[in-house]
A and B are shown apart, each in its own frame.
Chain A
Amino acid sequence: MAEAFVAGFLVVLQWKTFSFMLIGIAVGFWVGLLPGIGGLTTLALMLPFIYDMTPVEAFAFLLGMHSVTATTGDITSILFGVPGEGSAAATILDGHAMAKKGEAGRALGAALMSSLVGAIIGAFALAISIPIMRPLVLTFGAPELFMLAVMGISFISSLSGQGGRAMIRGFLGGLLGLLIALVGLDPQAGIERFTFDQLYLWDGVAIVPLIIGLFAMPEIIDLAVRGTSIAGELPQGNLNRGVMEGVKDTFRHFWLTVRCSLAGTFIGIMPGLGGSVAQWIAYGHAAQSARDATERSGFGKGDVRGVLGPGAANNSKEGGSLIPTVAFGIPGSAAMAILLGAFLIQGLRPGLDMLDKHLVLTFSMVWTMVIANVITVAVSLLFLNQLAKLTTVRGTILIPFILFLAFIGAFTEHNHIGDLVSLLLFGGLGYLMVRCSWPRAPLVLGFVLGEIAETNFYISSTRYGLSWLYHPVVLTLMVLTVIFIAYPHLRFYLKQVENEPIA
């Protein structure tokens, strides 16, 4: 095993494999940066190029590309408030807020370093967990996935701010997100729900226009209203100093980064939970780590922990989703389904062979993910100061380009004008929500988990009746959900009691 681990490292360093990985990284770097090009589509487009490669070269090329898109996707989210990748949207909340405070460098440093930590944890989770993962994945059926979705939804309470009114608004957002997730054909009977007889809505509301609309549009409007650059009138020196500060932030909040990485890995392992879930769960957990109400209210306004959590989870989920793909041929995400195609092209069969006959190849995947992220972060760190300076460019110059990227990014979801209508509708909703202090994160959390919850609920009740409620993992997840909801309130209550003067 140890020999294969070292051999996996050495094969990645062979000049041909390494060159293919570098090409993959270069492609992934730009794909991540530009909102109009999805990492998923690019992965599919690159498949034909691997026919003449050896398996090690092919996976170095594909994984090198795929594992850095999540890292560089954060850069666009932070600088312009438009997610470079759908899975980098949660970084906007605090990352872009930091950019507006003149701390773009710090936010970028934090996002990149936490991404690197996440990628390393995810990759090594893949390395060590393959032998023990089979029983865990097989334990998670529909009831457990349903409870996992419910547990995710419970994070709404952490994302709502403090006070009864804030809770009402948070849950309003979350429920609205859940309702929006139900648009489309009912997965049970194929009956149209809230589609207004539009074929475009049969597949449900597209996530990319929804996220870009909710998050980018209010930022664009605010930028135009301010009439300044993104960073306002702040001196440029602040931008340059921040990068190393952001890197240090990752280590100041190291355990938070590790916890979010582990959460991302776990979500990645579970097939069917989707790539967008990890970042929001991690964001919810980061917000939960606030010690008091004042600290909590700083989230969404430029708290570096709101960048570290999603940044780490985003990258670690890639390692996690490779586990069921490699070990059992069950793709943990859409990207992994495409990667499964690469296995077939290379004449490989995921499963026992990958843990035995092709163990060196499996470990080369682990090393590719680590090395690709190290290179990306090192290269990015060289240019971060220059990138951060984009936040000092006049708003009037940036706005048409940000709008261009937002429109293109939304349109490429289905290549349909309906995507642009969605963008405008959710842009309007996002602006109203911000104006009225309704948090937007619960809406997205409800949206990404709604369909998962409904589908798995029906499968559970059809297959098990009510007996699924007594499954040990379901019961454990129920207890955890109650703890997640109660813990922040309990902590604030205890803190209040502690601070009250003794009579």
Chain B
Amino acid sequence: MKPKLNLHLFLALGVALVASYALYSATDWPFRTALFPKMIAVPLLVLALIEMGLSAFSTEKQREGHAVDFELTANIDPSVGRRRTLAIVGWILSFFILILLIGFPVGVPVFVFSYLKLGGKEKWGLALILTALSWLLMKGLFDRLLHIPFPDGWIQSLFG
């Protein structure tokens, strides 16, 4: 029987690798330090391997594996869903990179404006008002009032 390659299999494989790494790391530790990691990693590895086997070779029964958790929207054309997923993941990573490069106080309004204008295709007026609101929140509340120590971005650090 040919194994099915799917996301379930890869997630279980990832967890199996994490458990294996935990067991490997624990081999060098003293007994007490290693006891809990081993006690947890062994059943984790066994269950991950079982889940891998089930994901690769068995067909899931209707609703059997459904979690006590929310489910992603299913009534969207898969190709549209994939495109939108990649787009939002790209935006999230861009936000992170923006913060690294120019820091929170500048990065937040830049991100809000870019998302509203490019991602949301919102009108100029609304985009500018909401950007100003985000800047006010960022500068007024988090920076001035609460004095959260936001680090400079790499670009600011570069130019002193």
Contact = CB atoms under 8 A, between A and B. Distances in A.
Interface string A438-464: 111100000000100110011000000
A226 interface: yes
A397 B122 CA distance: 8
A287 B68 contact: yes
Interface in A185-229: 186, 188-189, 191, 193-194, 217-222, 224-227
A223 B128 CA distance: 23
A407 B65 CA distance: 32
B142 interface: yes
Interface string A139-180: 000000000000000000011111111101111100110110
A408 interface: yes
Interface string A401-431: 1011001100110010100100010010000
Nearest to A423: B96
Interface in B146-160: 146, 148-151
A186 B25 CA distance: 13
A401 B134 contact: yes
A37 B141 CA distance: 10
Task: Report the interface size class on chain B.
Answer: 35 or more
A182 interface: yes
B66 A161 contact: yes
A224 B66 contact: no
B132 interface: no
Contacts of A450: 40
A161 B149 contact: no
A163 B40 CA distance: 22
Interface of B: 7-8, 11-12, 15, 18-19, 22, 25, 29-30, 32-33, 36-37, 40-41, 43-44, 47-48, 50-51, 54, 60-61, 63-73, 76, 81, 84-85, 87-89, 91-93, 95-96, 99-100, 104, 108, 111-112, 115-116, 119-122, 126, 130, 134, 137-138, 141-142, 146, 148-151
B40 A182 contact: yes
Contacts of B54: 165, 168
Contacts of B116: 396-397, 400
Given A163-B64, A407-B95, A435 B33 contact: no
Given A225-B76, A408-B104, A97 B119 contact: no
A296 B63 CA distance: 12
